């Protein structure tokens, strides 16, 4: 029986929910003391909040989540949401009332996850979704250690517009990714707010840019970086994706 594919966009209104199911590393999902016998590293995920109700209504056996990229667990996904296709395995029902499913998901995900625009999809769209590389826009709250005046800050930000940076695989992901250098573009950035010891940036980057490393520099593994350019160590206090920019040729 072929799977059922449904397209939508999700907004993640809280931090600390992963995009996909995350089995416990110790027991690999069987259940142990570390995971309080849930078999999971995190209680829930975007995949489960979206997929469980659809699977139940379709009377399927399992679900797979195909996102157009993903945000860090501790980042919110706001704005117009992130496109995804959910795949339901072995559905007994294929004609679903997607409008009422959307309401059902949004009630159970209230204040955590919202879905928008559910519609039928296809395996072909899964392929496009997984290979698309949209630019993303972030709101980033940066903590700065040292004194930086607004004029200097604006000058540095201006200098990063449409520049390419080189990022060696970050230390925080080096246990699961090959160590290599990649070039990424900082498309646009501007200062939204400046406070004492912190400022807020709106930053648009090419897909695959490591934003936290662009800010703190990752011990020189990302160059150029904001800390170095400002001459003051910076770090990301919080980060939200506010737009996954549509690449209309992929729709």
Q: Which residues bind Zn ion (CB under 5 A)?
A: 24, 26-27, 32, 34-35
Task: Please confirm, yes or no, whether 72 is among the known catalytic residues.
Answer: yes
- In the bound state with Zn ion, the residue whose beta carbon lies nearer, of 30 and 93, is 30
CB of 32 to Zn ion, least distance (A): 3
- If one counts every other C-beta atom within 10 angstroms of the C-beta of residue 235, the result is 15
CB of 45 to Zn ion, least distance (A): 16
Which is the catalytic residue, given 72, 74, 246, 247?
Answer: 72
CB of 48 to Zn ion, least distance (A): 17
- Whether 186 and 205 have beta carbons less than 8 Å apart is answered as yes
What does the alpha-carbon distance between residue 177 and residue 175 come to, in Å, rounded to a whole number? 6
- In the bound state with Zn ion, the residue whose beta carbon lies nearer, of 26 and 245, is 26
- In the bound state with Zn ion, the residue whose beta carbon lies nearer, of 41 and 57, is 41
CB of 87 to Zn ion, least distance (A): 26
What does the alpha-carbon distance between residue 247 and residue 251 come to, in Å, rounded to a whole number? 7
Q: Compute φ and ψ for 94, nearest 5 degrees.
A: -115, -20
- In the bound state with Zn ion, the residue whose beta carbon lies nearer, of 48 and 87, is 48
- Whether 174 and 228 have beta carbons less than 8 Å apart is answered as no
What does the alpha-carbon distance between residue 65 and residue 51 come to, in Å, rounded to a whole number? 8
Which residues belong to the active site?
72
């Amino acid at each position: 029986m072929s799977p059922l594919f449904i397209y939508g966009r999700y907004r993640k209104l809280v931090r600390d929910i992963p995009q996909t199911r995350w089995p416990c590393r110790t027991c690999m999902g069987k259940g142990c003391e570390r995971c309080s016998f849930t078999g999971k590293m995190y209680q829930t995920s975007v995949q489960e909040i979206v997929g469980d109700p659809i699977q139940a209504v379709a009377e399927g056996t399992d679900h797979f989540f195909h996102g157009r990229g993903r945000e860090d667990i501790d980042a919110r996904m706001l704005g117009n949401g992130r496109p995804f296709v959910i795949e339901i395995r072995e559905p007994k029902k294929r004609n679903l009332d997607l409008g009422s499913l959307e309401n059902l998901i949004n009630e159970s995900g209230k204040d955590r996850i919202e879905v928008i625009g559910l519609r039928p999809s296809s395996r072909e769209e899964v392929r496009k979704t997984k290979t698309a590389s949209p630019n993303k826009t972030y709101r980033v709250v940066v903590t700065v250690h040292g004194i930086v005046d607004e004029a200097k800050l604006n000058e540095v930000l201006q200098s990063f517009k449409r520049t390419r940076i080189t990022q060696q695989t970050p230390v925080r992901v080096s246990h699961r990714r090959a160590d290599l250098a990649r070039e990424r573009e900082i498309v646009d950035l501007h200062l939204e707010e400046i406070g004492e010891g912190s400022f807020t940036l709106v930053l648009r980057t090419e897909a695959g840019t490591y934003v936290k490393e662009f800010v703190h520099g990752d011990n020189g593994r990302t160059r150029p970086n904001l800390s170095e350019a400002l001459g003051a160590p910076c770090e990301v206090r919080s980060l939200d994706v506010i737009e996954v920019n549509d690449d209309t040729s992929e729709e």
